[in-house]
A and B are shown apart, each in its own frame.
Chain A
Amino acid sequence: MRPQPPSGTPAPVCGMSAGGCDGAADWPADVSDGSSLPAVELPRKRKGDMEERNSTDCKMEDDLSRSEEEDQQVKIKCFREPHRQIEKRRRDKMNNLIDELSAMIPACQPMVQKPDKLTVLRKAVQHLKALKVGTSSAFADSTNKPSILPQDDFRQLLLRAADGFMLVVSCDRAKILFISESVSKILNFSLLELTGQSLFDFIHPKDINKVKEQLSSWEYPQEHMIDAATGLQVQTDAPIKPTHLSSGAWRSFFCRMKYSRVAGKQEEKHQLPCTAKKKDTSRYCTLHCTGYMRSCPSSQLDSEGDAETPSLSCLVMLCRPLPHGSPEPPKHINAKPSAFVTRCAIDGKFTFVEQQATTVIGYLPQEVLGTSCYEYFHQDDLQHLAEKHRQVLRSKEKIETQCYKFKTKYGSYVSLQSQWFSFTNPWTKEVEFIVSSNRVMSRGPGHIKDEEAGRLKAMQEEIPIIPSLSNGVGTMIYAGSIGTQIANELIDSYRVNSSPSSGASSPFGSTNEKCPLVSPPISTSTAAIGASVGCTKVRHSQASSGGGAASSSSQPDSRTAAGASSATADSSGQVSQLDLDGMVVPALSSFSSDEAAMAVIMSLLETEVNVGQPGDYEDLHWPF
């Protein structure tokens, strides 16, 4: 085997190495090349058992011939040093395992001294034997394939982990043929209530068609599969036969199923699907259903004599409720009607206004979209808000404003206080918009007129960027330009930062530091495809006007193309600053499967982008 590269780092881009030792048989080969001995050590740090596992003579009987300390003396002397280390590591690992084992065995725990290895092992044997006594023979059944877990337990565990239930429905009438007991914890219905019923009785009325389609889609010609290589749909022009689909066709869809808040009230629930006395107040939870079509011999399934079709298609699925949040998305996320969320572009023009804002500001969302928020701010607040605006564009933190007045549709002002947060695109690292959470401070009848010229003049001196304001009318025209100007400052600073050399004077000092031109210690030999922050050029320079995707001029820098299937790589570890637009992968044609393509992509993106920079994304409010 090739000795590992002396740098001791994991091997290259795609052929990620976990370190490699081939066991005792190959040691002589490595030893002959003395320089590689230390290198053999490092990558094997974590290999522990694996290295032994890989060796050819790791069987139990051969342990007798395995070297121990006393026997080392008979080996070649140049083995000794690294060999001792390897042995020590092996012993430590074994001791750790023995300790863990003794911790798990009740018989070992009350012991005063730490039991020795042999005792622990013997106790373990006894313990296993004792455990077996309590279990059924299915566990240790030698006729069948033995498994660590009994089959039933495994299925239970799986359903518990998946937090879902198994569902088998017949394709022709959506009769529930089987449903696992775990459904009772998810939907609060018992098996009795569900088995044999029609699935459609439990599906949200608006999803019934969707489910019908999934059950019997061979009737519908619009089947599409996606080809992940091209991202395009593959049209199936040929007529689809049921037999073709009844074996193994995959299904994945979402639907809403009824659930009961209180378990056990059978009669009521039984009536719900049939009678429609009152409005159906059932609650639904959204499930992700995945599974495949299967044909079952109908004679054993349907006792009602539905033996017209010789083989019945059914859909076998795992249904999992969506993981995030409550079963139903909350209707009103913000219970308080006096708070609302808005979003505006970096120049302050509204791009999103939540519906409940209308009760506060009087305007309908569509009336304010596209207008600058500065048009609604009172002059007294312009300076402070402009400052906050500048601040939020340059900060990753949430910025709190002071109380300010917002002009409503009716001319009066309402007192608000907001929390602003700028959103930075994870890929381009450019600020794209500002999210504002707004709270009403008071709804007092403040009718503050904006005709005080004296005030305007004072403002004029403090904020030189506002052109001279001669009369009240002109206020509105120029207020909007404040936002635009602040935005332009930002855009200019992006342009300035397009090359690292000019980074010194940039207000975005923090972002420049993240430019990974110096590769962090871990994987140096991999291609440094970093989402290099300040090193990208401004690609969307018309952020405020919301222009289309502009293709930037690509830097013809040297790029290390990732060799997909080759395990060897450029060990000199070319660190090159790549233009994001020009990030490349080898042509797909060299791959034989989607998975291979994915492997390449992953290997490209695996690199040291955020290694050493864990703090960057702390304030992105991830749920954990």
Chain B
Amino acid sequence: MTADKEKRRAISREAARRRRRVESEVFEDLSRLLPLQQSVRDHLDKPSVIRLTLSYIRMHTLLTGKTGTKAEASHKVKCGQVTDGQMVRHEFNGGCGEEEEKEKYDADASEETNMYLRILEGFLMVLSTEGDMIYLSENVSKYMGLTQAELMGHNIFEFSHPCDHEELRNNLRVTAVWSGEKRDFVMRIKSALTHRGRSANLKSATWKVLHCQGRSKVCVAPSSVSCLLLTCQPLPLSHTLLSTQTFTSQHSMDMRFTYCDQRMTLLLGYSTEELLGRSIYDLCHTRDTNCLTKNHFNLCFKSQSVSGRYRMLVRGGGYVWVESHSAVIPNAHSSKSRPGANQPLCILCVTYVLRCVCGLWFKATFTVSTHFIELYLSK
């Protein structure tokens, strides 16, 4: 009996192996059709092949599909044809032979894409309404430490901070009516980069704050694909070039001023002493309270924020439209006596003045003084 049983088991095992072999072959065929580098292809497991295939098909649908609104139709991208992105070609077009030219074009196009990405200082992400990362630009590895092939097709909720999920879900709601509507939010994602920028294991991942901006896109035909197109940028402050229309300020965590640079005095008229201890909410137009509050929240819980446009009151009357990019940093000014000690946190803001002084008749609430200061604006 047992010998018979053994024999049957052996047969079924063999059948199973055959099935698996056939399946593997099909998987190999599929992966070969994907436009990936060989090195990447070699390391794909089966689910990854499917994920990437799905992404490929979805992106193809997205790019060639008809969209819901008239406005979108004009954006229709001609897949595979050379469109207006010929900047590099204009610059470097020489009298080359056709094949050479094609190769050169390809190389140039690639360089141009890299330049775009470099200027963007971030990566591109296409999210389905369920949160699947349908597409990620190749440079995502620079920010998340994981490669495009490893991440594409996975769900954003697996990689984002749980406290941001609610906000994310709200942003993912796309209806056919609102194709093209904008998105702007801050979220935290896992980053497997080490301090030195090397890729580490996901186990020791840390959080990275990203500013995501973009719009929704709805394709109606051939198959319905709704998604968000987003650019995701970290918010570095360290290499910002400050122009004369930009100033920095530091605040305690409740947004009271602890420091401001001289440019603020020049632009807005307040001296540092006047501002210390004052809340930024006092300094700004009441109608922008919500904008500031949201900014403050992002800082408290995500540690970085872009404020959007709001009005700052000018000493002596009027206000300016500004936008602030802020981050929470350790307060470097304190506890110098104990260098190894822990440092409290503060908020660093880089504020750009967008428009010159408006509403000069409008008195600042900050100082109830009756004299006007002549404002010195930059050249």
A-B contact sample (10 more), CB < 8 A, given A225-B240, A539-B254, A621-B290 = A63-B24, A100-B50, A152-B109, A225-B239, A343-B286, A366-B370, A425-B255, A427-B254, A433-B281, A603-B206
Q: Does the CB pair B29–A125 fall under 8 Å?
A: yes
Q: Which A residue's beta carbon lies closest to that of B361? A: A355
Given A117-B23, A168-B87, A611-B163: A146 in contact with B36 (beta carbons within 8 A): yes
The 8 A CB mask of A355-387 against B (1 = contact, 0 = none) is 100000000111001100000000000000000
Interface flag for B302 (CB, 8 Å):
yes
The answer to whether B92 touches A17, judged by C-beta atoms less than 8 angstroms apart, is no
Contact indicator A125/B124 (Cβ below 8 Å)? no
The answer on a CB contact under 8 Å between A435 and B286 is yes
- Least Cβ–Cβ distance between A353 and chain B, in angstroms: 7
Decide if A605 is an interface residue (CB 8 Å cutoff).
Answer: yes
What is the CA–CA distance of A300 and B93 in the complex, to the nearest angstrom? 8
| Contact call A323/B184, Cβ cutoff below 8 A | yes
* Any B CB within 8 A of the CB of A286: yes
Q: Report Cα–Cα, A19/B159, bound state, in Å.
A: 12
Please report which residues of chain B, range 11-29, place their CB below 8 angstroms from some CB of chain A when the two chains form the complex: 12-13, 16-17, 20-24, 26-29
Beyond A64-B21, A290-B119, A355-B359, is A138–B213 a contact (Cβ under 8 Å)?
no
Contact with A along B214-225 (1 / 0, CB 8 A): 110100001100
Q: Residue A162 contacts which of B20, B203, B213, B217 (CB distance < 8 angstroms)?
A: B213
Docked-complex contact A292 and B109, CB < 8 angstroms: no
Given contacts A549-B256, A583-B345, A155 and B112 within 8 Å (CB-CB)? yes
If the complex has contacts A125-B30, A231-B250, A252-B240, are A522 and B162 also in contact, measured as CB distance less than 8 A?
Answer: yes
Taking CB as reference atom, which chain A residue is nearest B27? A60
A209-B379 Cα distance, complex, nearest whole Å: 6
CB–CB B365/A333 < 8 A? no
Which residues in A have their C-beta under 8 angstroms from that of B376?
A: none
Residue A547 CB within 8 A of the other chain = yes
The 4 closest A-B CB pairs, nearest first, are A548-B277, A584-B342, A136-B80, A161-B229
A594 to chain B, nearest CB (A): 5
Given contacts A583-B344, A606-B188, contact A353 B241 (CB under 8 A): no
Closest-by-CB residue of B relative to A181 is B84
Distance in angstroms between the alpha carbons of A531 and B254 in the assembled complex: 11
Whether B163 pairs with A610 at a CB distance below 8 angstroms is: yes
* In the complex, chain B residues whose CB is within 8 Å of the CB of A153: 63, 77, 79-80
Given A18-B203, A149-B135, A366-B363, A157 contacting B63 (CB threshold 8 A): yes
Q: In chain A between 575 and 624, which residues have their CB closer than 8 angstroms to a CB of chain B?
A: 580-589, 591-599, 601-606, 609-611, 614, 617, 620-624
- Bound CA–CA A252/B278 (angstroms): 28
Interface residues on chain A, number (Cβ under 8 Å): 190
A145 to B111, CA, bound (A): 11
Closest to A209 in B: B379
Which chain B residues border A97 with CB–CB below 8 Å? Answer: 47, 50-51, 54
Q: Flag whether B296 is at the interface (Cβ < 8 A).
A: yes
Tell me if A567 is interfacial: C-beta within 8 Å of chain B. yes
State whether A104 and B58 are in contact (beta carbons under 8 Å apart), knowing that A59-B42, A214-B243 are contacts in the complex.
yes
Partner of B281 from A292, A423, A587 at Cβ < 8 Å: A423
Closest chain B CB from A287 CB (angstroms):
10
Query: B350 to chain A: closest CB distance in Å?
Result: 7
CA distance A416 to B305 in the complex (A): 38
> How many of chain B's residues have a CB under 8 angstroms from any CB in A?
188
| Known A-B contacts A224-B242, A296-B91; A162 and B214 likewise in contact (beta carbons under 8 Å) | yes
The yes or no answer to A86 lying at the interface (CB within 8 A) is no
Other-chain contact of B229, A157, A354, A604 (Cβ < 8 Å)? A157
Min CB distance A99 to B, Å, is 10
In the complex the two chains form, is B345's CB within 8 Å of A71's CB? no
* A70-B12, A323-B184, A329-B321 known; A585-B378 Cβ under 8 A: no
Residues of A within 8 A of B82 (CB): 152
A316 at the interface (CB under 8 A from B): yes
Which residues in A have their C-beta under 8 angstroms from that of B48?
A: 49, 53
Is B329 on the interface with A (CB-CB < 8 A)? yes
Task: Determine the residue in chain A with the shortest Cβ distance to B91.
Answer: A300
Q: Do A231 and B106 form a contact, CB below 8 Å, given A121-B23, A251-B241?
A: no
In the bound assembly, the distance between CA atoms of A128 and B190 in angstroms comes to 32
CB under 8 Å from chain A, chain B span 325-370: 327-330, 332, 339-346, 348, 350, 352, 354-356, 359, 361-363, 365, 368, 370
Given A105-B57, A151-B110, CB of A423 within 8 Å of CB of B289: yes
Report A398-445 residues with CB < 8 Å from chain B CB: 423, 425-428, 432-433, 435
In the assembled complex, the Cα of A433 lies from the Cα of B44 at a distance in Å of 58
The answer to whether A593 and B195 have CB atoms under 8 Å apart is: yes
The chain B residue sitting closest to A590, CB to CB, is B340
- Least CB distance from A235 to B in Å reads 11
Nearest Cβ distance between residue B39 and chain A, in whole angstroms? 11
- Collect the chain B residues with CB atoms within 8 Å of residue A162's CB: 120, 213-214, 231
A156-B206 in contact (CB<8A): no
Is A507 in contact with chain B by the CB < 8 A criterion? no
CB distance from B278 to the nearest CB of A (A): 8
**Chain B residues whose CB sits within 8 angstroms of the CB of A155 once the complex forms:** 85, 112-113, 116
What's the Cα separation between A591 and B238 when bound, in Å? 15
Q: Is the CB of B56 within 8 A of A148?
A: yes
Residues of B287-341 contacting chain A, CB below 8 A: 287, 289-291, 293-294, 296-297, 300-304, 308-309, 321, 323, 327-330, 332, 339-341
Q: Can you list 30 A-B contacts with CB-CB less than 8 angstroms, sorted by A residue number?
A: A15-B205, A16-B206, A58-B45, A60-B24, A64-B20, A104-B58, A122-B26, A136-B81, A153-B63, A155-B85, A155-B116, A161-B124, A226-B238, A228-B236, A231-B250, A250-B239, A254-B245, A286-B355, A324-B184, A325-B309, A352-B285, A369-B365, A567-B203, A583-B253, A599-B207, A599-B208, A606-B207, A622-B290, A624-B171, A624-B185
A369-B363 Cα distance, complex, nearest whole Å: 9
User: Would A301 and B47 count as touching, CB distance under 8 A?
Assistant: no
Interfacial chain B residues near A128, Cβ < 8 Å: 30, 33-34, 53, 56-57
- Tell whether, in the assembled complex, residue B195 and residue A49 are in contact, meaning their CB atoms are under 8 Å apart: no
| Interface check A515, CB cutoff 8 A | no
CA distance A68 to B21 in the complex (A): 13
Q: Are B328 and A601 in contact (CB under 8 A)?
A: yes
Q: B286, A138: Cβ atoms under 8 Å?
A: no
Q: Is A135 an interface residue (CB 8 A)?
A: yes
Judge if B121 is at the interface, Cβ distance under 8 Å.
yes
**Is A18 a contact of B205 with CB atoms below 8 Å?**
yes
Q: Does A132 contact B (CB under 8 A)?
A: yes
* Min distance, Cβ B360 to any Cβ of chain A, angstroms: 10
- Indicate whether A272 reaches chain B with its CB closer than 8 angstroms: no
A231 in contact with B346 (CB, 8 Å): yes
Assuming the A-B contacts A156-B77, A603-B207, A611-B162, are A48 and B248 also in contact, with contact meaning beta carbons closer than 8 angstroms in the complex? no
Q: Which residues of A, 24-64, contact B by the 8 Å Cβ criterion?
A: 46, 48-50, 52-54, 58-61, 63-64
A129 at interface by CB-CB < 8 Å: yes
B100 proximal to A (CB < 8 A)? no
Q: Is A213 an interface residue (CB 8 A)?
A: yes
Q: Is the CB of B300 within 8 A of A427?
A: yes
- The docked-state distance in angstroms from the alpha carbon of A353 to that of B244 is 30
Which of the residues B36, B84, B261, B276 comes within 8 Å of A548, measured between beta carbons?
B276
Q: Which of B35, B47, B208, B354 is close to A94, meaning CB atoms less than 8 Å apart?
A: B47
Residues of A within 8 A of B291 (CB): 324
Asked whether B252 is an interface residue with its Cβ less than 8 Å from the other chain, the reply is: yes
CB B111 to nearest CB in A, in angstroms, measures 10
Minimum CB–CB distance from B231 to chain A (whole Å) comes to 5
The answer to whether A598 and B113 touch across the interface, beta carbons within 8 angstroms, is no
Interface presence of A341 (CB below 8 A): yes
Among B28, B36, B158, max chain A CB count under 10 A is at B158
Residue of A whose beta carbon sits closest to that of B202: A18
Asked if residues A231 and B348 are in contact (CB atoms below 8 Å), the reply is yes
Which residues of the partner chain B approach A504 to less than 8 Å between Cβ atoms?
Answer: none
Which A residues from 212 to 248 make CB contacts under 8 A with B? 213-214, 217, 222-233
Tell me if A323 and B213 are in contact (CB < 8 A).
yes
Which residue of A has the minimal Cβ distance to B58?
Answer: A104
A584 surroundings in chain B (CB, below 8 A): 342-344
